[in-house]
Amino acid sequence: MNSSLPKVLHAIQGSSMLQHVLNTLQKIGPQKIVVVVGKNARDVRRSIKNTGAVSFAVQKDAIGTGDALSKALPSLRGLKETIVVVNGDTPLVSPETIRKFLVLHKKKRNDLSLLSFTAGNPGSYGRIIRNEKGGVLSVIEDRDATTAQKSITEVNSGVYAIEPGVLRMLKEIKLNASKGEYYLTDIVRLAKDRGMKVDAFMIGSEEEFLGVNTLRELEKARELMKKRVVEKWLGKGVYFIDEHSVFLSSDAEIGRGTTIYPNVHIEGDTRLGKGCTIYPNVRIRDSVIGDGAVIRDSTVIENAVVKNRASVGPFAHVRPGSEIGPGAKIGNFVEIKKSVIGSRTKASHLSYIGDAKIGRDVNIGAGTITCNYDGCKKHVTAIEDGVFIGSDSQLIAPVSVGKGAYVGAGSTITRDVPAKALALSRTEQKNVEGWALNRRLKVKSEKVRVKGSKKHKQ
């Protein structure tokens, strides 16, 4: 991968390759999942979300897939059900394919099954070797295959269904001298030699089992997954102005009738409601957007909630811990941080609202700031229903403004404002008659004097 990041932690559509595989496996309802880790084990462990059913086995030296599975045996001890083996670098494998594979495995009463597919370019894949009747004999890795075997296009996907009795043969796998590894594929020949029932089911597609080993392959996998995600939501009534220029997390949910414009990034565990409109250059991460909400151009929303019919943007930033109420309006160049905005409240432009609790039907004038940080701690500003905050006001927290009160434009509020009161904090205005004219005459005379002195000096 030419990268310091462990291969399986490279991201596709917002989640690591390994996380995509784990999400797929969790959908088929396993009793447990064992992840075999090697170098960078700590980073891999920390990256995994929803680890309740996941345990770990350690393979200190990367000496092959056969050795990797053997390291998982202590975690599988006493298990009587089928064991499914999947590679951590095949993020496109689907739960539907694995379910179908397991149904065939059980129906045939196999001891060992492989999931195979037809490869347009078999390349480095292991070839499925069959006899004249179509029975599986073995799997031959590309580097060990003859010229005739290299021409075989049915290849091993790396997905196995294994009954517990087969696992004891892992210790019989011999080290491959040319590679210095223990190949799990050798278990096919060993099982056949013991008279066990072995088969391969060719039900997968080449795209689905793309193994990612380079950044170019990572990009190809990303494109394929993006296409899959977009097709899913098109089928559920989501309209894309340009489907090729959007980024959609595979974990996101989108309601019917939502319109998404170009260059929109929907990241993480985001939920978009029905009938939303998401305009260009918007990024939304791990947030909930209610039905009918409008998110305007170049807005960023992170770990926040925007409720039904609210409007946010353009050029707004809604930071973590914020909640925008139903029908509220957050306008251009407004930043909201860890604040609750009540229904139908408006902050239309050029304001910072941090650590605030704001009621319903409040008007926040342009240039308003809640001064929440005193250099040591953050403090809360509370604004009750129906309050009018005039433009260019500063509210020095902790402070509260009572229901229906007014704050005059240009005020600095340092004390609580009672309900229905008017708060003003301004210096008295002075008008000096003739000052501007006198100032212009003074400047003009100074320019004449300076010019004359330069001429005299010459």
- Is residue 183 located within the same domain as residue 272? no
Q: Is 57 helix (H, G, I), strand (E, B) or coil?
A: strand
The reply to whether 184 and 239 lie within a common domain is: no
315 Cβ neighbours under 8 A, 6+ residues apart: 297, 298, 299, 332, 333
In a domain? residue 214: no
Q: Are strands 356-358 and 329-337 parallel, antiparallel or unpaired?
A: unpaired
CATH code, domain carrying 286 = 2.160.10.10
pLDDT tens string, the chain, 458 residues long: the values are 889 999 999 999 889 999 999 999 999 999 999 999 998 899 999 899 876 678 999 999 999 999 999 999 999 988 889 999 999 999 999 999 999 999 999 999 999 999 999 998 888 889 999 998 899 999 988 888 888 999 999 999 999 999 999 999 999 999 988 889 999 999 999 999 999 999 999 997 899 999 999 999 999 999 999 999 999 999 999 999 999 999 999 889 999 999 999 999 999 999 999 999 999 999 999 999 999 999 999 999 999 999 999 999 999 999 999 999 999 999 999 999 999 999 999 999 999 999 999 999 999 999 999 999 999 999 999 999 999 999 999 999 999 999 999 999 999 999 999 999 999 998 888 999 998 888 888 888 877 777 666 555 44
Distance CA 95, CA 30 (A): 12
Q: What is the DSSP letter of 373?
A: B
- Domain range for 325 is 235-338
Catalytic residue among 244, 317, 349, 456: 349
Q: Which of 157, 138, 136, 140 is nearest to 149 (CA)?
A: 140
Side chain identity at residue 219, one-letter code: E
Whether residue 173 sits in one domain with residue 26: yes
Q: Name 146's Cβ contacts closer than 8 Å, sequence gap at least 6.
A: none
Q: What per-residue confidence (pLDDT) applies to 453?
A: 65
Q: State residue 85's pLDDT score.
A: 97
- What confidence score (pLDDT) does residue 454 get? 58
Q: Same structural domain for residues 148 and 250? A: no
Whether 274 is covered by a domain: the verdict is yes
- What is the sign of the dihedral through the CA atoms of 303, 21, 87 and 155? negative
User: Do the Cβ atoms of 401 and 373 come closer than 8 Å?
Assistant: no
Does residue 450 sit within a domain?
yes
- Find the CATH number of the domain harbouring 151: 3.90.550.10
Same domain for 188 and 74: yes
Q: Are residues 176 and 244 in the same domain?
A: no
Question: Is 423 in contact with 417 (CB distance < 8 Å)?
Answer: yes
Q: What is the pLDDT of residue 74?
A: 93
Domain count, the chain: 3
410: which strand partners? none
Written as six digits, the tokens of 297 are: 């151009």
The pLDDT, as a whole number, for residue 228 is 92
Query: Which structure tokens are listed for 410?
Result: 């240009």
How far, in Å, CA of 204 to CA of 90, rounded? 12
**Residue 194 and residue 58 share a domain:** yes
- Residue 248's DSSP bridge partners are 266
Q: b or e along 93-121 (b: 16 or more beta carbons within 10 Å of the residue's beta carbon)?
A: beeebbeebbebbeeeebbbbbbbbebee
What pLDDT score was predicted for residue 52? Answer: 67
Q: What letters, b where the CB count within 10 A reaches 16 and e where it falls short, cover 223-255?
A: ebbbebbbeebeeeebebeebeebbbbbbbebb
- Domain-embedded: residue 275: yes
Residue 55 belongs to a domain: yes
Residue 105 designated active-site: no
130 and 267: one domain? Answer: no
Instruction: Determine how β-strand 283-285 pairs with β-strand 15-16.
Output: unpaired
